[in-house]
Chains A and B, each alone.
Chain A
C-alpha cells in the first residue's frame, strides 16, 4: 500500500512545494540559470508586483505596462546566464531591465499616440486612492512609512520611486543641484532601510 501511495503523488507537487516558501537567492539564481521553469514561476509570483509598479510609474498605462512586464520576464528568462551576482542582487538586475524596457516603451510611436489621448495618471494613482497595493509591506503602510521621512527627502523618494524620475531629471525639473538630490536620496534610503529592513 505504501508503494501505491508513493506513486500516486504527482511529481509536480514535490517540485512546487518549496515555491510557496521563501527560497534563498543563490539557489533561486542557480535553478533559473538551469532553466527550471518552476523557479521562474516563483520569481514571477514574488517580484511581478514590484516590477509592474516600477514599470507602471514610467509607462503610466495599465495595458502597456502589463505588456512591458511580460517583456521584462521574457528578457530575464532569456538572459539569465548573463546575470552576475557579484555586480548586485537579482532584483536590482531585474529592476534595471524593467526600467530600461519601460523607458524604451515611452520612446515608442505607440506610446506617443496613447499619450495624446490623455488620462495618464489614473492608473498609477490607484496606489494612493484605492489602496490597490496587493503585495504590501508586512506591517506598516507605505503612506505612513513615507510620512516618517523629512519632507525634502520624501520629495526625492516620491519623485524617483513614485513618479519614475531619475535623479538627473529631478535635478533638472526642480532646479536642484544634482549633488543635493544625491545627498537627500542617500539620507532617505538610509532611513528607509532602517524602517523597512530592520
Chain B
C-alpha cells in the first residue's frame, strides 16, 4: 500500500469525522495497526479537528452538568469512592484483621505447646501411679511378713509354748523340724528346718500321739517359711511325728513313711 496516496485520499479525515461505513472503518483501523505513519498523520488531523471544535464551543448552562451528575450518581451510588480513598475505617479493619491473625497464630502455638506438655505430664503421672502401686504392694508384703515374724517371735518367746524338736528317722536322717505347743490353749505351730520336697500328689501330715493313739494335727507342704499354725491338740500329747501321706492326709498314719519324730519333754 502506498501510504502517501492513502493519506492524500483524505480517508483519515473522514475517519476522524466519523463519516465512514463500518467496513471502511475496519479497514482504516487495520491499516492504523500496520503503518505507524498513518497513526502519526491521524493524530495530527485529530488534534487540528479538536482545536477547531474547541474554538467553536458553546458552553452549556450549569444546570445541564448538575442534571447529568445527578443521573450518574443515581446509577452509581458512591461505590467507587471507597476504593479510591481508603478511609480510617478500612485502616482499622486492616489492623483488626492483622491483630486477629496474630492472636490466632499465638493461640495455635500455645495450644500445640501445651498439648505437648500435657501429654508429657500425663505419661509421667501414669508412671508415678504405677510406681506408687508397686511400692504399696511391696509395703503390704513387707508388712505381712513383719507381722508374721512378730507373731512367730511371740510364739517362740512365749513360755506357755513348749518346743518339741522332731529329728530325722532312718527314712530321712537329715530332716529336722519342731513343734511349738501350748497345752493350755491347745495351739500348735510347726517350724520346718529341713525336709525334702514332695511330689504334688503327696503331703506331709503331722500327728500327735495321745494315750498311744495318733491324732491328726493337719497337713503341710515341705517348703514352709516361719511358723505354720496347725490343728489344735488337746493336752496329754506325748509325741509329735510327721508321715508322708496322699494329698489331703489320712485318718490314720502310714507309720512306715515316718520322717521325723520327737517326744514331749515333761516338766
Question: Any chain B CB within 8 A of the CB of A30?
Answer: no
Bound together, the chains give a CA A52 to CA B68 distance in angstroms of 14
Residues of A contacting B254 in the complex (Cβ-Cβ under 8 angstroms): none
The reply to whether A182 and B29 form a contact with Cβ atoms under 8 Å apart is no
Bound together, the chains give a CA A135 to CA B55 distance in angstroms of 7
The reply to whether A95 and B18 form a contact with Cβ atoms under 8 Å apart is yes
Q: Which of A41, A70, A96, A161 contacts B71 (CB 8 A)?
A: A70
The reply to whether A134 and B59 form a contact with Cβ atoms under 8 Å apart is yes
Residues of A contacting B32 in the complex (Cβ-Cβ under 8 angstroms): 86-87
Residues of A contacting B45 in the complex (Cβ-Cβ under 8 angstroms): 189, 193
Assuming A11-B85, A95-B18, A185-B10, is B54 touching A135 (CB within 8 A)? yes
The reply to whether A66 and B55 form a contact with Cβ atoms under 8 Å apart is no
Bound together, the chains give a CA A92 to CA B32 distance in angstroms of 15
Q: Which of B9, B39, B68, B85 contacts A74 (CB 8 A)?
A: B68
Q: Which of B10, B53, B57, B58 contacts A95 (CB 8 A)?
A: B53
The reply to whether A49 and B58 form a contact with Cβ atoms under 8 Å apart is yes
Q: Which of A40, A56, A66, A86 contacts B72 (CB 8 A)?
A: A40
> Nearest CB to that of B29 among chain A residues?
A87
Q: Which of A56, A70, A95, A192 contacts B64 (CB 8 A)?
A: A70
Q: Which residues of A127-155 are within 8 A (CB) of B?
A: 127, 132-137, 142, 145
Residue-wise, chain A 150-187 has the 8 Å CB interface mask toward B (1 for contact) of 00000001001110001110000000000000110110
Q: Which residues of B34-51 are within 8 A (CB) of A?
A: 39, 42-51
Question: Any chain B CB within 8 A of the CB of A34?
Answer: yes
Assuming A91-B50, A189-B49, is B13 touching A142 (CB within 8 A)? no
Main secondary structure of the interface of B (DSSP, over half): helix
Residues of A contacting B119 in the complex (Cβ-Cβ under 8 angstroms): none
Question: Any chain A CB within 8 A of the CB of B129?
Answer: no
Bound together, the chains give a CA A161 to CA B19 distance in angstroms of 13
The smallest C-beta distance from A154 to any residue of chain B, in angstroms, reads: 12
The reply to whether A196 and B58 form a contact with Cβ atoms under 8 Å apart is no
> Nearest CB to that of B67 among chain A residues?
A70
Residues of A contacting B61 in the complex (Cβ-Cβ under 8 angstroms): 66
Question: Any chain A CB within 8 A of the CB of B17?
Answer: yes
The reply to whether B17 and A37 form a contact with Cβ atoms under 8 Å apart is no
Question: Any chain A CB within 8 A of the CB of B266?
Answer: no
Residues of A contacting B64 in the complex (Cβ-Cβ under 8 angstroms): 48, 66, 69-70
The reply to whether A77 and B55 form a contact with Cβ atoms under 8 Å apart is no
Residues of A contacting B65 in the complex (Cβ-Cβ under 8 angstroms): 44, 48
Q: Which residues of A51-86 are within 8 A (CB) of B?
A: 52-54, 56, 66, 69-70, 73-74, 77, 86
Q: Which of A15, A44, A89, A190 contacts B46 (CB 8 A)?
A: A89
The reply to whether A49 and B50 form a contact with Cβ atoms under 8 Å apart is no
The reply to whether B17 and A36 form a contact with Cβ atoms under 8 Å apart is no
The reply to whether B58 and A52 form a contact with Cβ atoms under 8 Å apart is yes
Q: Which of B8, B44, B79 contacts A197 (CB 8 A)?
A: B44
Q: Which residues of B11-34 are within 8 A (CB) of A?
A: 13-19, 29, 32-33
The reply to whether B13 and A185 form a contact with Cβ atoms under 8 Å apart is yes
Known: A37-B81, A182-B13. 11 other contacts (CB 8 A): A15-B85, A50-B53, A70-B67, A86-B39, A87-B29, A100-B18, A134-B59, A135-B54, A142-B56, A185-B10, A193-B51
Nearest 7 interchain pairs by C-beta: A49-B57, A193-B48, A182-B10, A196-B51, A96-B18, A134-B59, A137-B55
